[in-house]
Amino acid sequence: MQNAKSAQRVRVVIYTDGGATPNPGLGGWAAVLISPTHNGAQREIYGAEHETTNNRMELTAAIMALRALKYPCAVDLHTDSAYMKNAFTRGWLEKWRNNGWNTSNKEPVLNRDLWEELFDLSTKHDIDWHWTKGHASDAYNNLCDALVQKAKGAHKNENSGTPKG
């Protein structure tokens, strides 16, 4: 939902995805940043980690996308992670912070390091969170998924011990 402040900011549309196979295991993250102001110019970013989880990769994708923005923007962030979206839109993140980073069950919030960074980055932008069904008909979500697989494949090849060159 746009407010007066976000109406003055450059609008950016971001799609993110992340995953690990197995979970935990080799993980990858990806984001596609789209600038409607610049004729729909796109930027794809992605990466991988050796031993990680699906949730860490989902969070990392959003973090890396927001880090890539050079100034405060009005962001439409699309994710297939209901967990990540709901943490912001249902107030879970605020409750965790107020509870000393504990859940309502008094358990420590997993991936606190990433949640803290994502929260800090989210305060610099006006973000509208959108959920999209993964592995369905959303072309940008599917592109992110393909980039996740590409990142994982490249990471696996780099660390396979296969001689290069």
pLDDT digits (tens, 9 = 90+) for 50-67: 999 999 999 999 999 999
Span 17-32, average pLDDT: 97
Which listed residue (49, 76, 126, 145) is catalytic? Answer: 145
| pLDDT at 160 exceeding the cut of 70 | no
Give me the pLDDT at residue 164, please: 42
17 counts as catalytic: yes
Give me the pLDDT at residue 134, please: 82
Which listed residue (38, 120, 135, 153) is catalytic? Answer: 135
| pLDDT at 165 exceeding the cut of 90 | no
80 counts as catalytic: yes
158 or 152, which is more confident:
152
Burial 86-116 (b: 16+ CB within 10 A, else e): ebbeeebbeebeeeeeeeeeeeebebeebbe
| pLDDT at 135 exceeding the cut of 90 | no
Structural domains in the chain, sorted by start: 4-158 (3.30.420.10)
Which listed residue (19, 47, 49, 80) is catalytic? Answer: 80
The DSSP 8-state label assigned to residue 102 in this structure reads B
Q: What is the mean pLDDT of the chain?
A: 92
Give me the pLDDT at residue 94, please: 96
Which listed residue (58, 76, 78, 126) is catalytic? Answer: 58
